[in-house]
Homo-oligomer: A and B are copies of this chain.
């Protein structure tokens, strides 16, 4: 929270890029479900901004990001609509979007940690706040598309967010330089996510075939 203004500006720029990328990926998910243009717009907004909104609601941190900065609703929704026009070319950009999604994951995580740090919350809640911010937009997208949330099954997605949060808050608690800590935590998280994508790493699954109740 006491980072340099350059670091803050960079984090903000990455945030804007990331919400655009998340909205565009969400638009493709909407297209798989044959939603109409309004649905595409809304799913883009919810996916890009839903994680931060859920964090703010759970922490009582008002106003929400899109209430304070309503232009994000136009940016993310517009990006989702734009995706309709360029969808046929997006498979060629698949790797770029996977990369941007990974960037978004660590950027959202750090921003979510910062919100909780700013509220003086305990370290476990800081990590949880980062993970909610980083991951819950995708969970909301999956629920609205009536899919089982991918988060609970995908390549180290939540794991990367938790690790990034732990490195970030751990480094800060050691009084290391904020910007260095932030860059290190994000770089490690980003690399782990990209390696997991490349080599298909995943957490072990729990497979249970008995009765639940």
A residues with CB within 8 A of B = 25, 27-40, 42-43, 53, 57-60, 62-64, 66-67, 70-71, 73-74, 84, 87, 90-91, 94, 98, 101, 121-125, 128, 139, 143-153, 158-159, 162, 202-213
Given A30-B206, A91-B210, 17 more pairs with CB closer than 8 A: A28-B208, A32-B212, A35-B206, A38-B159, A38-B162, A42-B151, A42-B152, A53-B58, A59-B64, A60-B62, A66-B128, A70-B128, A87-B206, A90-B210, A91-B211, A98-B213, A101-B213
Q: Given the complex, which residues of B lie within 8 Å of A124, measured CB to CB? A: 70-71, 73-74
Nearest-CB distance from A123 to chain B (Å)? Answer: 8
A42-B212 contact given A36-B203, A64-B58, A153-B34, CB 8 Å threshold: no
Pairs A–B under 8 Å by Cβ, sample size 8:
A37-B205, A38-B162, A39-B152, A39-B158, A73-B125, A74-B124, A101-B213, A144-B149
